[in-house]
Structure 1
Amino acid sequence: MKKILFATAAIVALASAQSALAADLGARTYPYATKAPVYAAPIYNWTGFYLGAHLGGAFSSNNNFSGLGTGNNSNGRFLGGLQVGADWQFAPTWVIGAEGQYSWLSGSVGAAFPGGYAYTNSQRGLGSITGRFGYTWGPGLLYVKGGYAYSDNNEKVTLAGTPVGFGTNGDHRNGWTVGAGLEYMFAPSWSAKAEYQYYNFGNATFTAPAALVPTGSFTTDDHTFKAGVNYRFNWGAPVAARY
């Protein structure tokens, strides 16, 4: 009888241990039942340095030189160049930055004067150093810009086709510029832009030769339209993530 009771107690104890073990194993399956983390979509980050290139056209005002014939001022001239800059995104939908830009120009501008005189400016390029401020919504950036401008002038005055000495009393190489544009981030580290930029280099008046003095002052300015692409550095990690 004692042996039977002992065997029965052993069987009950073994069954209880197996039940506890099964319950413990079942409780440990909870990590596999939880939902997977929600995908974290990165927020676009405009902070960093960039280097790029652009193409476009330039148009000069056609009402300079007291209404005289102004050659191809109003006709488009081809331009192409480079830009380098840096941006900082803050607050978090605003962007502030600085940019240096240079555009090479084709063609020339000028005017024909009474008596056979002609003025020509084979303007070789336009440069600028500007600040810019913009609003961003993810991959898009709408911005305005403004600052210092430089005109690489190559001027001459001719009489019946022969070069003659001349003088002006204004600096029409250094001036100011303003503009606006739209930039779009189309791939990691790459963005494309479309931009309008106006350059103004002030008024100048001929002081020689005497035949040109009565024509008064002329203005050197340019309207430009550009399309370009930028490669952006230091975009290794987004600023934040949206869940």
Structure 2
Amino acid sequence: MFASKKIVTAAAMLVAAAGAAHAADLPARVAPAPYVAPLPVFTWTGAYFGINAGAAFDNKQEFTTTANRSDGIGNTRFSDSGFSAGGQIGYNYELQGFGGGFGGPGSGIVIGFEADAMYMDTDKSINTITNGGTASFRSGLDFLGTARGRLGYAFNTFLIYGTGGFAYGDVNSRVVSVYNGSTDIQRQSGFTTGYTYGGGIEYALPTGSFLNFFHSSAVTLKAEYLRYELDSSNLNDSSVNTVNLQPGLKVKNEGNIARIGLNYKF
């Protein structure tokens, strides 16, 4: 009986040892890692609207004669600077992955269209001495609008682009010349068309940025340069004294705008 107890004890110890060895071979139980959702890839596709403000510089007004004038007024050109402010609307479409995906996920070619309208603070006058008299030139651009295409490349939340298209502006010009005791007044006021081109960079602001008052990934900040050139316009003679009218004048406006803008994308 004593021998039987030894056998049973030995068998129990053997079973326990085998169980421990098997348990050691089992993989350790580890709690699963918490799920982390992948970060969304930003896209430039969508409509947007925004505001802009900047500097208008080296804005040239060029007066040219349409015929020889006996009062000695020839070609006259001067420039001024000021500021611009306005708003814009537009639409972008990003060709995801097009262009080899250079720059990583969310990078691709972006095509779009933008229209804007700006108040322009550009107005200057100069006085000259002519052959036998004096002349006063004044010209300014009160308003400028553009309708442009855009083509660029996006590096996820960063976009670099070129732009170009149609421009129109509200030009106000006047020339007052005094010759041999007679005063000749010529004016031009109204819309004039032309073209514009330029480029810029745009960046989607982080939701925590102080400029991102919407706290949305759809707010972008841009810096842009535009060159505009408006066609020549004839000045109309409005003199009361029609005895000594002089041949007419033309005026042409062109200039540059450097500005920043803030857009909200739908």
Q: If the length of structure 1 is used for normalisation, what is the TM-score? A: 0.68
Q: 1:118 deviation in Å?
A: 5.2
Find 1:201's aligned residue among 218, 230, 248: 230
Matching residue's letter, 2:117: Y
Structure-to-structure mapping, 1:22-101, within 5 angstroms = 22-24=24-26, 27-28=27-28, 45-48=43-46, 49-66=48-65, 67-70=74-77, 73-90=78-95, 91=98, 92-101=107-116
Given that 1:69 and 1:111 are in contact with CA atoms closer than 8 Å, whether structure 2 keeps it comes out as no
Find 2:22's aligned residue among 5, 20, 23: 20
Structure-to-structure mapping, 1:138-149, within 5 angstroms = 140-149=158-167
Matching residue's letter, 2:232: N
Tell me how far apart the structure 2 counterparts of residues 12 and 84 of structure 1 sit (CA, whole Å). Answer: 83
Name the count of aligned residue pairs.
220
Q: 1:239 corresponds to which residue?
A: none
Q: 1:241 corresponds to which residue?
A: none
Tell me how far apart the structure 2 counterparts of residues 74 and 64 of structure 1 sit (CA, whole Å). Answer: 12
Find 1:192's aligned residue among 219, 222, 228: 222
Q: 1:112 deviation in Å?
A: 6.7
Post-superposition Cα deviations, 1:104-127, rounded to whole Å, max 9, x if no partner, equal: 122425677977675644432111
Tell me how far apart the structure 2 counterparts of residues 223 and 93 of structure 1 sit (CA, whole Å). Answer: 32
Given that 1:68 and 1:112 are in contact with CA atoms closer than 8 Å, whether structure 2 keeps it comes out as no
Structure-to-structure mapping, 1:92-111, within 5 angstroms = 92-109=107-124
Given that 2:170 and 2:190 are in contact with CA atoms closer than 8 Å, whether structure 1 keeps it comes out as no
Q: 1:132 deviation in Å?
A: 0.9
Q: 1:226 corresponds to which residue?
A: 258
Q: Is the partner of 2:80 in helix, strand or coil?
A: coil
Given that 1:149 and 1:176 are in contact with CA atoms closer than 8 Å, whether structure 2 keeps it comes out as yes
**Which structure 1 segments of 5+ residues have no match?**
235-243
**Whose strand fraction is larger, Structure 1's or Structure 2's?**
2
Given that 2:108 and 2:153 are in contact with CA atoms closer than 8 Å, whether structure 1 keeps it comes out as yes
Q: Is the partner of 2:159 in helix, strand or coil?
A: strand
Tell me how far apart the structure 2 counterparts of residues 233 and 61 of structure 1 sit (CA, whole Å). Answer: 35
Q: 1:151 deviation in Å?
A: 0.9
Q: Which stretch shifts more, 136-145 or 15-24?
A: 136-145
Q: Is the partner of 1:46 in helix, strand or coil?
A: coil
Q: 1:134 deviation in Å?
A: 1.6
**Which structure 2 segments of 5+ residues have no match?**
66-73, 99-106, 207-218
Q: 1:238 corresponds to which residue?
A: none
**Whose helix fraction is larger, Structure 1's or Structure 2's?**
1
Q: If the length of structure 2 is used for normalisation, what is the TM-score? A: 0.63
Tell me how far apart the structure 2 counterparts of residues 31 and 212 of structure 1 sit (CA, whole Å). Answer: 97
Identity among equivalent positions (%) equals 18
Q: 1:140 deviation in Å?
A: 4.6
Tell me how far apart the structure 1 counterparts of residues 162 and 125 of structure 2 sit (CA, whole Å). Answer: 30
Given that 2:53 and 2:261 are in contact with CA atoms closer than 8 Å, whether structure 1 keeps it comes out as yes
1:217 equivalenced with 2:250 (yes/no) = yes
Query: Over aligned residue pairs, what C-alpha RMSD do you find?
Result: 3.9
1:183 equivalenced with 2:212 (yes/no) = no
